[in-house]
Amino acid sequence: MQHDDRVIVVGAGPVGAVTTLALIKQGIPITLLESEPEPPEDQRAATIHPPTVEMLAELGLKDEAFADDASGGLRSPIFHFRDRVSGELVAVFDLNLLKDEVPYPFVVQWEQYKLVRAAQPRIEGSGIAEVRFSTKVTGLMQSADHVDVTVINAGGETETLRGRYAIGTDGGRSTVRRQADIEFEGFTWAERFIKIATSFDFGATGRGFCTRNYFSDPNEWLNLFKVVGDGPPGFWRGIMPVPAEESDEQALSMDGIQRRLQGIHSKPGDYEIPYYALYSVHQRVAATFNKGRVLLAGDSAHVNNPIGGMGMNGGIHDAMNLANKLADVWFGRAEPDVLDRYTRQRRKAQVDFVQAQTIQNKKALEEKDPVIRRQHLDDLRRTSEDVKLHKQYLYRSALFDSLNSANAVE
């Protein structure tokens, strides 16, 4: 058995990387475990909201996020709501309205795998962190003063690692959460989502698209975003629903993929497709984010549909909140029950804001009743045209309200 007076973090995705970096900054030794042989090039989340940009800057990742080359992100202050049926531009929201109120009045479109790559050298060079790839967690036992994590290591051997705490940042199917016997409450949507990337430049079509676009459509709503990708001209990502009656094979066929992109913009010839993925979508929150010496953050603690780009951001907010509280416990500045407050705060952020908002976002984009649909679009327009309402919308959609409300919970 390896006996270490350290925290074991399971899962080296963006939330695991941020959790590790934040704890290292507090002076806490870490063992970071990842089942994959290297950081996965996961193409899911990319939107970094303004309060999250501020957190990443605090961790020293500002230069990497703002890099002008392919490793960096794309600053994006503006987003559009459009009616896909009529082609109407319904509302334009501009984070620049908050430029005198917040440090970073823009979103950074920075793919999550690039965030992990930026964090990795800082973690490995810290002198108090060990990163172990190809290490799969198979069991977890905790006692009054430690946690034992059983793994199959890179050599295929079974090994037990001991730490004072274990943090699960290992995704929606979290082994840590299951081993700790924590309920994952909620539901799964009947339809799946498909994400399709293309190097075709939708911004050059003359249709006025910005880098972040939400399209309302009772038949096939659409989110359309630009990311830097591997460099110029960048990639555009389309996210669309796949109805329950459409098979995986149909959705993932090249005919099906080309049909969906041609539906966004009809053009001669096929679209070039660097990657695509089909996935089930859940709205679930763990019953607790702490149980004894086991803690959860990110998708291990909560999952939601991606409309609005709130999942990874909420996970990073978890990580920063947890790191501060765990450091207080670690160094004797607070009693362990402060971790109960972590659950109260971050669970409230999920249930009252992220879950509610993402469900509302989906229902609004897919609304089929023409009267309700028109009312929603008109409300969006009025909100965007009134400066006070516009700002209120920005604070809510960019997760400022979620963060501030949660942090106020005792």
Vertex 118: Cα angle to 35 and 331 (nearest 5) = 75
Residue 389 structural domain = 2-74+107-186+282-407
Does 358 reside within a domain? yes
pLDDT tens, 365-382?
Answer: 999 999 999 999 999 999
- Strand 7-10 to 78-83 pairing: unpaired
* Per-residue model confidence (pLDDT) at position 1: 47
Q: Which of 246, 279, 312 is the last residue of a domain?
A: 279
In Å, how far are 111, 163, 282, 323, 355 from 311, measured between CA atoms?
13, 28, 11, 19, 9
Check residue 51 and give its pLDDT. Answer: 98
The edge-to-edge listing of strands for the beta sheet with 294-296 is: 129-132, 30-33, 7-10, 165-168, 294-296, 290-291
The pLDDT, as a whole number, for residue 40 is 76
Predicted confidence at residue 304, as pLDDT, reads 94
* pLDDT in the model for residue 2: 55
- Which parts of the chain register pLDDT below 50? 1
Number of domains in the chain: 2
Q: Are residues 164 and 59 in the same domain?
A: yes
Same domain, 323 and 271: no
Domain at 375, CATH number: 3.50.50.60
**258 exposure class (CB count in 10 Å sphere: 0-12, 13-18, 19+):** middle
Q: Which of 247, 279, 311 is the last residue of a domain?
A: 279
Q: Do 286 and 388 share a domain, yes or no?
A: yes
| Residue 270: CATH number of its domain | 3.30.70
Examine residue 28 and state whether it is found in any structural domain, yes or no: yes
Rounded CA gap, 260 and 263, in Å? 5
Count Cβ atoms within 10 A of the Cβ of residue 307 and give its class: 0-12 exposed, 13-18 middle, 19 or more buried. buried
pLDDT for the residue numbered 275: 94
pLDDT of residue 76: 97
The helix (H) or strand (E) run that includes residue 121 is helix 112-124
- CA gap 397, 308 in Å, rounded: 7
> How is residue 358 written in tokens?
């993402």
Q: Which of 101, 104, 107 is nearest to 391 (CA)?
A: 101
Query: For 257-289, how does the pLDDT look when each residue is reduced to its tens digit (9 = 90+)?
Result: 999 999 999 999 999 999 999 999 999 999 999
CA distance 82 to 367: 14
| pLDDT at residue 44, rounded to an integer | 79
Which among 219, 247, 279 is the end of a domain? 279
pTM of the model: 0.96
